[in-house]
Chain A
Amino acid sequence: MHQFRKTVLMTLCMALVVAFGVAAPMNFVQAAGPAFPGKEIHMIVPWSPGGAVDMTARMIQKIAAADGIKIIVENVPGATGSIGLAKVASAPADGYTVGLATTSLLALIAQDMTKVRNEQFSYLNQVSIEQLLMLVPKGGPAQSLEEFIAYMKKNPGKVSIGTPGNNNLNHIFAAMAAKTAGVDFVNVPYPGASKAINDLSGKQIDGAVLKTSESRGQIEAGMVMAVGVFSETRNPALPNVPTFKEKGHDVFPYGLLEQICYLVGPADLPADVSAKLVSIFKKALAHPDYAKFAKDNGFTNSDVNSEALRKKIYSMQKGFNEAAPRLFKKK
């Protein structure tokens, strides 16, 4: 019996150790030296583990680790990223807490659906640009952009276009696609891209607007096809897919809107800390492994940082503010 008690206690102790190891990404603070960073940098990902942003964070973590920079990826999902970003905004402005924001935040702000504001952040580096694609099922009634637009014209108000979530950039572009045909459409919101592409592959919906990284595998396998890129340029991973612009359709009446992911810190970061962070991440983002990761997943990036990034975000915010009341139904 005593033996068993012991075993039980041992098991509980072991369990306790494991629990703490898992539960707390413990922050053993080292003596902060004069040089920044003197300890781990926490990178808050305001989405669940496993998504595109999370993977990007973990890729950066992997590359930076080789350079001796320790990054702890912390997933704080909820409220379309608002909860994690609010945590970044309220963190001490010492450079040890940064976070990854996306264009989704701008759409939320435009509709006053979050308390987070762009002024609460310092702008560091642009991390990725994800082009959105107009997708149709392979073997469906339309197999090119012209055919899809003709199909919408022929079935006014009946063509369904799936988007992950709604009132976001995907939704704006779906509305733009319908606008080129001059008709109404049925927006079918999904809780995530995977369910949308599943229904698209099974021809349950007529079209979908998704990121390249969310659809490339299914495009290559011949289950769905991309008929148009919502961007100024073609996608390097899909060189045969034309842009809407090439076909004479303007999808940016509200200025250039892109699905980007960018690194932010709390407002009022000291200038030297902010400059150091920008240079650390600039180096990681320029690494060949990151370039390969970007290419494999069909996204691009360009070196936009600090003030230039802030300007870009503020100008996109203006575009969203104009588009939101016109395109999204307020109920």
Chain B
Amino acid sequence: MELLSTLSLGFSVAMTPANLMYAFVGCFLGTLIGVLPGLGPVATIAMLMPATYVLPPVSALIMLAGIYYGAQYGGSTTAILVNLPGEASSVVTAMDGYQMARKGLAGPALSTAALGSFFAGTVGVLILAAFSTPLTKVAFKFGAAEYFSLMVLGLIAAVVLASGSLLKAIAMTVLGLLLGLVGTDINSGIPRYTLGIPELTDGIGFVTIAMGIFGYGEIVMNLGRTDMDREIFTGKMQGLWPTRKQVREVTPAVLRGTLLGAALGILPGGGAALAAVSAYALEKKIKMAPDEIPFGQGNIRGVASPEAANNAASQTSFVPLLTLGIPPNAVMALMLGAMIIHNIQPGPLVMTRNPQLFWGLVVSMWIGNLMLVILNLPLIRIWIKLLTVPYRFLFPAIVLFCAIGVFTINNNTFDIWMLGIFGFVGYLFGKLGCESAPLLLGFILGPMMEEYLRRALLLSLGDWSTFVTRPISAGLLAATVLLIVIMLLPAVKKKRAEAFTEE
């Protein structure tokens, strides 16, 4: 049982009192930072890294990993409570989570997210420990053509996501794709739609758009209403825990989300955002119980499944980092950097060269997840109480924190101006009844699709048949076609229409 021996080695490293303390400090700091909209783990880890220079390498990495998880967890909290997704992977969480909060169900939404994430994280860590090496081979089968087909599937799923007018959803997705075009074209190195502004040559930041549209746009909408009509949360609040009925709905959703997330996380080009989107789309396709709340209006499955999926994906995204030495995202790149500063040569050989560090880190991921649950369940009561803070105090705080958060990403005031502009744009969308989630998804997936499409065509010397002659790519495209056909089937169409008239 190699798995057991390696895991016990990991526990022996991670369970020392000092390392437990560092994990706790990391999770605690991370949670605090995560609930502040816009303040992300990258800025936090970069700022706190000098403080870890004096620590032993394992402790330093454990603490930094704790910050990462904490911040990610805190990001879902703001998505649910104030409709501010702090990162791409929590955009879909906000869709039903915020509606739940408005109906007084913030407690169950938050606890479901916490427990679902914990379960998914546990499964993710086990997969990571047991199957790292064979899974790498699967990831190698994915070339540009396969990634492109995967993105197409994801984008179609994103359109299916919309709960309002299909036409508006497609329009918003396309608008998102267009916004994603801003920046330097990877293939020619030519700046596109940058208006000669150097700050735009790297494109518009995701956080800037999300905070502007969701955060500032929402605030302006609220201030435009009279005091009476203003966003008032139902006074009656259900406690912390989900009811038995909710648990019954949530359990299979968490399982589905975990599996889907774990699978997508392994692909270095996939990641947590795609996992959350796909999980949500999958839940919408599953038959609803007769008395269930429709999606987009506070369905608890719409919170549980994507949360489980993004957490499972963020665990399994360690597979490429640890087996190939390839960081799947900015936080992981920073963790690699931290290893270098601590004189550890990162790369595929870390597992054999520094087994203590490797397995200690893997186990501390799980411990970090556990600590977050323990830490956050009591905190949920406090977060919920935040909703009772009068709006005149709450909104200036959100405005301030969003601005600080956006500034920390690039240390550049230009981004704060962009935040304001997108706030106005978000307000317009709100007035026009256009949903913003499809726009964000188009914005995330669009540039990735373009990158892979063009690379696939470069490699096939311009031959489009590469997408159907490569078996995995062909399979993914077939699944996309199937999805479209199902969507267009008269029976489903009717059901869709029914769902909307219920509103």
Contact = CB atoms under 8 A, between A and B. Distances in A.
Question: Do the two shown chains form a genuine complex with each other?
Answer: yes
Interface of A: 4, 7-8, 11-12, 14-15, 18-23, 25, 48-51, 54-55, 58-59, 61-62, 65, 74-80, 82-83, 86, 111, 113-115, 158, 160, 165-167, 186, 188-191, 194-195, 197-199, 201-205, 216-218, 220-221, 223, 292-293, 296-297, 328-329, 331
B198 interface: yes
B326 A198 contact: yes
Contacts of B401: 15, 19
B32 A18 contact: yes
Contacts of B35: 15
Given A79-B202, A186-B459, A199 B47 contact: no
A223 B348 contact: yes
Contact of A23 (B39, B341, B349, B412): B39
A289 to B, nearest CB: 9
B324 A188 contact: no
Contacts of A14: 32
5 contacts: A50-B327, A165-B186, A191-B451, A220-B348, A328-B189
A111 to B, nearest CB: 8
Contacts of B187: 166, 189
Interface in B352-379: none
Contact of A75 (B46, B326, B347, B382): B46
A160 B459 contact: yes
Contacts of B335: 50
Given A76-B410, A166-B187, A194-B326, A22 B341 contact: no
A61 B50 contact: yes
A11 to B, nearest CB: 6
Contacts of A55: 337, 340-341
B459 A220 contact: no
Given A22-B44, A194-B327, A216 B341 contact: no
Residue in B341, B389, B459 whose Cβ sees the most chain A Cβ within 10 Å: B459
Interface stretch (B137-145, B165-173, B251-259): B137-145
Interface of B: 29, 32-33, 35-36, 39, 42-50, 53, 139-144, 184, 186-191, 198-199, 201-202, 268-269, 320, 324-327, 330, 333-337, 340-341, 343, 345-349, 382, 385-386, 388-389, 397, 401, 404-405, 407-408, 410-412, 451, 455, 458-459, 461
B212 to A, nearest CB: 18
B412 A83 contact: yes
Nearest to B194: A79
Contacts of B459: 160, 186, 188, 204-205
Nearest to B387: A8
Contacts of A199: 143-144
Given A23-B407, A61-B50, A292-B343, A188 B190 contact: no
Nearest to B408: A23
Given A49-B337, A113-B191, A189-B186, 7 more contacts: A11-B382, A20-B404, A21-B47, A49-B46, A50-B334, A79-B201, A204-B459
Closest 6 CB pairs of A and B: A217-B347, A202-B140, A221-B348, A50-B333, A49-B46, A50-B334
A115 B385 CA distance: 51
Nearest to B320: A198
Q: Classify the interface of chain B: helix, strand, loop or mixed.
A: helix
Nearest to B345: A296
A19 B39 contact: yes
A216 B458 CA distance: 27
A18 B349 contact: no
Given A223-B348, A297-B340, A8 B268 contact: no
Nearest to B352: A221
Given A59-B341, A61-B50, A296-B343, A15 B324 contact: no
Given A165-B186, A165-B189, A83 B326 contact: no
B404 A23 contact: yes
A49 B451 contact: no
Contacts of B326: 194-195, 197-198
Given A186-B461, A223-B324, A48 B330 contact: yes
B141 A202 contact: yes
A50 B198 contact: no
B385 A49 contact: no
Contacts of A77: 202, 410
A114 to B, nearest CB: 8
Nearest to B411: A76
A188 B455 contact: yes
A217 B143 contact: no
Given A8-B385, A55-B341, A194-B327, A18 B33 contact: yes
Contact of B33 (A22, A50, A51, A62): A22
Nearest to B455: A188
Contact of A201 (B32, B36, B42, B324): B324
Contacts of A59: 341
A115 B199 CA distance: 12
B188 A25 contact: no
B198 A86 contact: yes
Given A204-B459, A217-B349, A49 B45 contact: yes
A293 B50 CA distance: 17
Given A8-B386, A78-B198, A217 B346 contact: yes
Contacts of A297: 340
Contact of A79 (B44, B198, B343): B198
Contact of A58 (B139, B327, B341, B348): B341
A292 B341 CA distance: 11
B151 to A, nearest CB: 15
A4 B384 CA distance: 10
Given A74-B411, A188-B458, A198-B324, A331 B201 contact: no
B412 A78 contact: yes
A22 B43 CA distance: 7
Contacts of A166: 186-189
